[in-house]
Each structure stands twice: as structure tokens, then as C-alpha cells.
Amino acid sequence: MLKIRNLEVGYGKLKVLRRISLHVDPGEIVTIIGANGAGKTTMLNTISGLLRPWAGEITFNKEDISKARAEQIVFMGCSLVPEGRQVFSTMTVHENLLLGGYVHHAKKRRHISEEELERILGIFPILKERDKQLAGTLSGGEQQMLAIGRALMAKPKLIMMDEPSMGLAPLIVKEIFNIIKQLRDEGNTVLLVEQNAKAALGIADRGYVLETGRIILQGTADDLLSNRDVQRAYLGRDLDAENR
């Protein structure tokens, strides 16, 4: 579905991604784990068309999207749930969701797919309760759900999520990740960028480990969970202490 080959990108003179190749197949959750500054967000922003690649290929369903505009990419079925949710806080929950469907509705003269809205409110019942509330008044977890719901309104084939666990209490993280898993089980495809490697690998099918702009490991989530480097660096296990 998504295929990246030898991607290079950066800001000004600073090269952030040095040479990245990865792919996402339909129906799977693929996670990219890595520390702060490894280049995870840069990668998602590049796929989304917010940053221009310096070199390399990005294809989405066999179409080259490396030069496409951000809204075109969303229209083609590749949506981003941005880091820090970025909901429109002075608008209502309802309005936020409608905006998510903008790429489709605008062409049909603001014809709103009530069906789509209902489907999403079915996944996130709490948003239905908060329908008329301003998005800025929601809790962190609710805002994250709204951000995901908003992205789903564009009927994406691939949902990219940037750090959905950020700043959320462990219980809420669990809830959000259950929803991501549920989305996959319903046939959606997810590219999940996370610092919380344990949670991400817990639900993912495959993963890539990004370090300073390069992928140093990749494989099934199970293999990565049992890789000692991953355990030491990302799962916070003190292996030496365990062996003592």
C-alpha cells in the first residue's frame, strides 16, 4: 500500500532522514519506534506532503506521491493524525469532525455523509456525548479520539498516527491503543509512530526501529520485542540487573 525507498529529507542544511526504506501492506499495523529526534515525525510529515523529500521515492497504491500536495494525498486516502492532536479548540466536536471530511464533502457541495459521522461516533461514543462541546474543553484522551475520528472522516485507506499516547495517562493509552487495534481488525491500515515502544509493539504486526535518521532494525513485532537491543533501549528493561 505504502512503499518508501531511500527517502532523504531534512530542514535547511540539516539532513534528518538519511536513507529510509519501508513499506506498509494493507490491513496491518506497522509501527516506527525511536527516541526523540530520530526523525519519526519528519517521516510522517514527508509522507503527508507537508515536507518535500530531498531524494527517494514514496508511492501510495503504486502512485508516486512524493510531489503531491498535502490535500491531494488526503484525498487519495492517506490521512495523518498529527502529534499533539491539533484539534481546533474553539470549534465544537461536531465541527471538528465535519472538517475532517472536507476533502470529500467540498466537492459534493457540502453534502455531509451522515452515515460516516454515525459510524465514527459509534467507535467513539464519548464524542457523541460531547457533540456540541468546544474541542478545547475535552480531556487529553478525548481530544486524541477526536483527532483520530477527524482523520477517519476522510475515509482513509491508510491512517498515520503520530505519538497518539503522548501526554496521556496509562489507562487512556490502553484505551486509545485498543481502538487502533479495533480499527485494524475492521480492515484499516495503520502506520503508527510511537515513543512508547512497548504499547506500540504490543498491537503492531511489524515494526521499524529508527535511530538518528536510519533504520537499524526491522521485523515482526514479536521479533523486535525479543530483540535485546530493543529491550535495552526502548522497553526500559535492565537486562544486566535481571541476569544478576
Partner 1 sequence: MYWEQEKECMSREDLEQLQLERLESTLNRVHMNVPFYRKKFDEMNIDTDAIRSLKDLKRLPFTTKDDLRDNYPYGMFAVPLRDVVRVHASSGTTGMSTVVGYTKNDIKTWSNLVARVLTAGGVTKDDVVQIAFGYSLFTGGFGLHYGAERLGASVIPISSGNTSRQIKIMQDFKTTALVCTPSYALLIADTIREMGISINSLSLKYGLFGAEPWSENMRKEIQDKLKIIATDNYGLSEVMGPGVAGECLEQNGLHINEDHFIIEIINPDTLEPVPDGDTGELVITTLSKEAFPVVRFRTRDLTRIITEPCPCGRTMRKMQRVMGRTDDMLIIKGVNVFPSQIESVLFEIEGTEPHYQIIVDRKGAMDDVTVLVEVEESIFFDQMKKQRELIELIKKRLASELGISVEIRLVEKKTIERSEGKAKRVIDNRKF
- Residues in touch with partner 1 (CB under 8 A): 3, 5-6, 18-23, 208-209, 211, 214-219, 223, 226-229, 239-240, 243
Nearest distance in Å: CB 24, partner 1:
11
Return the number of the residue (17 or 145) whose C-beta is nearest partner 1: 17
Return the number of the residue (69 or 228) whose C-beta is nearest partner 1: 228
Can you give the chain as a three-state secondary structure string? CEEEEEEEEEECCEEEEEEEEEEECCCCEEEEEECCCCCHHHHHHHHCCCCCCCEEEEEECCEECCCCCHHHHHHHCEEEECCCCCCCCCCEHHHHHHHHCHHHHHHHCCCCCHHHHHHHHHHCHHHHHCCCCEHHHCCHHHHHHHHHHHHHCCCCCEEEEECCCCCCCHHHHHHHHHHHHHHHHCCCEEEEEECCHHHHHHHCCEEEEEECCEEEEEEEHHHHHCCHHHHHHCCCCCHHHHHC
Nearest distance in Å: CB 90, partner 1:
43
Return the number of the residue (3 or 104) whose C-beta is nearest partner 1: 3
- Alpha-carbon torsion angle 209, 211, 158, 8, nearest 10: -140
Return the number of the residue (99 or 216) whose C-beta is nearest partner 1: 216
Nearest distance in Å: CB 229, partner 1:
7
Nearest distance in Å: CB 8, partner 1:
8
Return the number of the residue (62 or 132) whose C-beta is nearest partner 1: 62
Nearest distance in Å: CB 240, partner 1:
8
Q: Which residues contact 63 (CB under 8 A, 6 or more apart)?
A: 76
Nearest distance in Å: CB 51, partner 1:
19
Return the number of the residue (7 or 147) whose C-beta is nearest partner 1: 7
